[in-house]
Structure 1
Amino acid sequence: MKKSSLFCLPFIALASTPSFADWQQAETANTQYPSRLVFDRVNRQYVTTITIQNTGDSVISGPIRVMFDSTSHALLNASGEEDGIPYLTAEVESLASGESTTVTARFEVKRARLALTLSVQTFVEDQSGTGLTLDDNQIAVFYNREDGEYDGWGLHLWNGQACGNYAAPTTQSSHFSNWPDPYPADGVHPEYGAYYILSVEPGAQCYNFIVHKGNDKALGDADSRFEPEFGNQTFTFNGFPELWYTPITSRPQFLDGARAHWMDDNTMLWLTDHGEASDIALYHSHNASLDIDSAGVSLLNVGALGTATRIPMTIANAEQVHYDSNPHLNGFSGFELDISEAQAKQLLT
């Protein structure tokens, strides 16, 4: 039989993953400048040249800027400021090992010896999408609540039990393996919710945790297991047990068995929460491109929606005979599709 995929989708929102980036210290970049300033008689300014050199073994990728963390003379030609600290942007896109570049700094005329505290920063794109920078022995758990209330919600952590071990400083915390006083969040991300950064002993297949507040468990009764083979950050949603390893701001619709039943050519019974949906549709793909696997869960491939067959659906009371003949479908909502018998057969074969 030809493989195809059918997918019913209530469109509340298809959230796109925001792109995050940040300026970070370039630890292998050194700066030098002459002790004596040159006087520009035309503009009546002091001028000096600052040299930036890459003393490390790896390439420093740009953009690159020099931060004037402190200065005895006011900088007059700053490229900009961040948190009140002026900076100059270098014109090069990168610095290979041993390479150097310069920026010209202009200062106010002042009877004082020049004294500068400088640092070099590079603009680093964050591929994770969360803005977190994790070491090789760190993982991050995100916990998202619709109400945004995270006070008191923490992680119960423990070692062993068919999974790997956490490591210091996580294990040195008084919150480790302490049910009455769980491990607190390190912060709250504006898109992904509370996050917990944890140190682990690398190489394990899983790490145990429970998100809870008192005896209330956020992700269901079962213990949660972080599986690092899928990534070093996981995303969870209050009330649901799944762990997602791709940054997402809302729990995806996913293909999880017989939630929708096609009763006749124009009637479908579907167990779904559609109260806030502005549009409901059935999507069909002849090559099964709507269905992608993520950590063992069948997810919606949003990128394939544009080429899939779309059939609008409307909420409609289904005939009682469908429920009488299938009592296990009581509680399922009725939906109507405006298609012919031939179209229905084509979609199902």
Structure 2
Amino acid sequence: MKKANFVLQALIAAAMLAPALASAAPPEGKVQINYNRCDANYDGWGVHLWKDPGIPLPGVEWQNPMMPTGKNDFGIFFQADFKEFSKGKVNYIVHKGDSKDQGGRDMSFDGNTVKEIRVNNGDRKIYTSLEDAQKARAENPCK
């Protein structure tokens, strides 16, 4: 009986840690853009990344955006080497062909102070915490 309780407690602890592991911070030296779509259809969505003054990161072109690095509980994510960005300014546009998210604007964040952001499709804001991004999604549900 004691062994069964121990196994049950271990399973409960693992289940409680799973969301934290799925939402772990990006690896050292990386910045991460997490992207959530209402329809969960991420086919063809990528991110255009550039450093000032408008120079795309190596291997990234408008017609050939960076494709997702992986998937997590929030949606998909893109990771890039922080050292590639001039003075730490991370410039990006999440897009699929010429369809741009976040109102079609050029977006940026300071990678010196924030290593990870979250973006909800159809929302122009950048969220620096999972809780704020989820709250915004709950307040503005997908149509």
TM-score normalised per structure 2: 0.71
Is 2:24 aligned against 1:131?
Answer: yes
Q: Is the 8 A contact 1:237 1:251 kept in 2?
A: no
Shift of 1:161: 3.0
Alignment of 1:254-265 (within 5 A): none
List per-residue Cα deviations over 1:187-235 (Å, max 9, x = no partner). 111x211100100227724211100001110111210102224421100
Query: Measured at CA, do residues 222 and 195 of structure 1 come closer, stay the same or move farther in structure 2, by a change above 3 Å?
Result: same
Q: What residue is the counterpart of 2:34 in the other structure?
A: 142
Which residue in the other structure is 1:113 paired with? Answer: none
Task: Supply the AA of the counterpart residue of 1:20.
Answer: A
**For 2:42 and 2:88, how far apart are their aligned partners in 1?**
29
Q: Which of 164, 172, 188 in structure 1 is aligned with 2:71?
A: 188
Task: Provide the residue aligned with 1:211 in structure 2.
Answer: 94
CA gap of 1:134–1:235, structure 2 versus 1, over 3 A, is same
Structure with bigger RCO (C-alpha 8 Å, 6+ apart)? 2
Pick the structure with greater CA Rg: 1
In 2, are the aligned partners of 1:187 and 1:194 still within 8 Å (CA)? yes
For residues 156 and 133 of structure 1, do their structure 2 counterparts lie closer, same or farther at Cα, with a shift above 3 Å needed?
Answer: closer
Name the one with the larger strand percent: 1
**Structure 1 residues 133 and 224, CA, compared in 2 at 3 Å: closer, same or farther?**
closer
**Judging changes above 3 Å, is the alpha-carbon distance between structure 1 residues 209 and 203 closer, same or farther for their aligned structure 2 residues?**
closer
Separation in 2 of the partners of 1:238 and 1:219? 7
Give 1:1-150 correspondences, 5 Å limit. Answer: 19-21=19-21, 130-135=23-28, 137-150=29-42
**Does residue 49 of structure 2 align to residue 161 of structure 1?**
no
In the alignment, structure 1 segments of 5+ residues that lack a partner are 1-17, 22-128, 254-271, 277-349
Runs (4 or more) in structure 1 with deviation over 6 Å come to none
**Per-residue deviation, 1:134:** 1.2
State the TM-score, normalizing by the size of structure 1: 0.31
RMSD, aligned CA: 2.9
* Distance in 1 separating the partners of 2:19 and 2:76: 18
Q: Percent identity?
A: 23
Q: Distance in 2 between matches of 1:161 and 1:216?
A: 23
1:293 paired residue number: none
Name the structure 1 match of 2:80.
Answer: 198
2:116 to 213, 233, 239: 233
